[in-house]
Amino acid sequence: MINIKKIFLSALPERNIRLNILFFVVIIAVSLLAGAQSAHAQFVATAQTPQTVIYAWAASMAKDERGHYPISLLKLALEKSGASYEIQPSKHDMPQWRTLRHVQMGRELDVVWTFTTPEREQTLLPIRIPIDRGLLGWRLLLINAADAERFAKLDSAEQLRELRSGQGHDWPDFPILKANGFNVSPSSSYQGLFAMLQRRRIAYFPRSMTEIEPEVRAHQNQALVVAPRWVLHYPAPLYFFVSREKPALAAAIERGLLVAIKDGSMRRLFQLHFGEAIAKADLNHRSVLTLSNPFLTNATPLQRTDLWFSPTLGF
């Protein structure tokens, strides 16, 4: 078979052959370099593409103030984690038990924040940093405005225990109050508790300092107020939880929270959201009824005083 390329090159001067070979080598080198740069750019773009994290707070609940702080803190933690994440709300509002189940199964939800229990720590992966510094366990009493004077005149903790209160039937607070001798009625509905209070089926509804003011504003038509004098207190760690199948996400959240604690950004966010409510509660001038929480695991960081709210310090 005749090699036309060989005949053609043999007919050219030696100098032209060298130039053609050099030109051919340069073209190949440029092509290889361009391909490598393109592959590198695609790798970097892929590496920097944020991973979506769905948190258990429906988009339809965006105006509910109770979710503003944990959502902001989750975003802050993931930003400071060193990893690339993007948070989004869930599509559907669900009862708490279903939310926990969906996170456990990795179905539609990745992160939930909730009061810890031994069962929740077994089925889910907790990040053991109380995100609200334990404010969930500082409970003011939501009452009917007409009962304010009655609560101001209560002489003892025993009188408070005897009055009927209300809590969600599947909330950790319910067994805690029962274990501490309170007369407490369960409800299967969050909104149903406000109806029970308005209809005087219960005398008061213990709510955390992070929840009670937004709830008073949200139920203005029901003439509800914060009871004078009394405040309940028990250890109540509010954690971020993820599926046990997502340890990398848990590690990222924990890493980011620790950075935010160290650089002060978590404290600033906490004060921004709760500073006014803490000042208004005036805990140093209230009668504190300290309760036990027999439902905590040994892993609860109770000795880490830097993680917990102090009324004396106001943080």
Q: What is the dihedral of CA 105, 107, 111, 116, to 10 degrees?
A: -40
Give the distance, in angstroms, between the CA of residue 290 and the centroid of all CA atoms in the same chain.
26
Tokens of 102: 């969906």
DSSP labels for 248-266? HHHHHHHHHHHHHHHHTHH
First to last CA, the chain: 90
Q: What is the pLDDT of residue 27?
A: 52
Q: What is the dihedral of CA 161, 167, 171, 174, to 10 degrees?
A: 20
- What's the number of CA atoms in the CB half-sphere (13 Å) around residue 21? 9
Give the distance, in angstroms, between the CA of residue 278 and the centroid of all CA atoms in the same chain.
20
Q: What is the pLDDT of residue 26?
A: 46
CA distances from 181 to 158, 265, 297 (A): 9, 39, 21
> Matching CATH topology for 50-134+237-280 and 136-233?
yes
Q: What is the pLDDT of residue 4?
A: 45
Tokens of 183: 């007369």
CA distances from 257 to 40, 116, 196, 231 (A): 32, 18, 38, 29
DSSP state letter for 186: E
**Residue 67 main-chain phi, psi, to 5 deg:** -95, -10
- Residue 307 pairs in a beta bridge with none
Q: Is the CATH code 3.90.1570.10 the one for domain 136-233?
A: no
Fold category of 50-134+237-280 in CATH: D-Maltodextrin-Binding Protein; domain 2 (3.40.190)
Q: Any idea where the domains of the chain sit in the sequence?
A: 4-41, 50-134+237-280, 136-233
- Evaluate if pTM is beyond 0.95: no
In which residue ranges of the chain is pLDDT below 70? 1-48
Give the angle 253-259-265 at the CA atoms, nearest 5°. Answer: 105
Q: What is the pLDDT of residue 32?
A: 52
How many residues appear in the chain? 315
